[in-house]
Amino acid sequence: MARAVLGGGCFWCVEGAYKDMKGIKSALPGYAGGHDPNPNYNSVCNGSTGHAEVVEIIFDDSVISYETILEVFFTVHDPTQMNRQGNDIGTQYRSVIYYLNDEQKLTADKVRDDFQKYFDDEIVTEIEELSNYHEAEEYHHNYFQLNPGNGYCQMVVAPKLAKVRRKLTHLY
């Protein structure tokens, strides 16, 4: 099994994109990259911890490659928005790929550069070594699937997931 940690705005959107995908063992929301040793949802949301909302993806790399994981990432969010996704504004919503080794860093750089041709604006996705990762509280796990009637889920998450599944149907 391999591991990827990605931040693309609200972690409910990113987590939902990887659910039910071939080769994905788990996709769990979390926080990474900040300075607070004990972040929680409230402290991360108010921007005081330096953490980004992220998703930790555990995957079978004999079924799905890290490169494909990143292709999904660049499809589910807008990597040209600095410290925001739509109405979610702040550094906690930054676009970031946390690498775990040199190979992941090289792949992340390559995929980011390859995806630039699909965007008019510059991709601002950060690529950083993973630091200070913490799994998010249990009530965030599988949030979209457990809360389909939530207004945010209906207006923001559902359209993003529909776009990913429409474009990348072969992965499900």
Question: Residue 129 is inside which H or E element, if any?
Answer: strand 126-129
For 92, residues 6+ apart whose C-beta sits below 8 A from its C-beta are: 44, 45, 47, 49, 51, 52, 53
Q: Which residues pair with 29 in a beta bridge?
A: 55
Task: Give the number of residues written for the chain.
Answer: 172
Give Cα 129 distance to the centre of its chain: 15
Cβ atoms of 72 and 168 within 8 Å: the answer is yes
> Cα dihedral sign for 51, 52, 55, 56?
negative
Which residue among the candidates 10, 13, 45, 153 is catalytic per the annotation? 10
14, two tokens: 């990113």
Catalytic residue status for 153: no
Q: What is the separation of C-alpha 70 from the centre of its chain, rounded to a whole number of angstroms?
A: 9
Q: Show which residues are catalytic.
A: 10
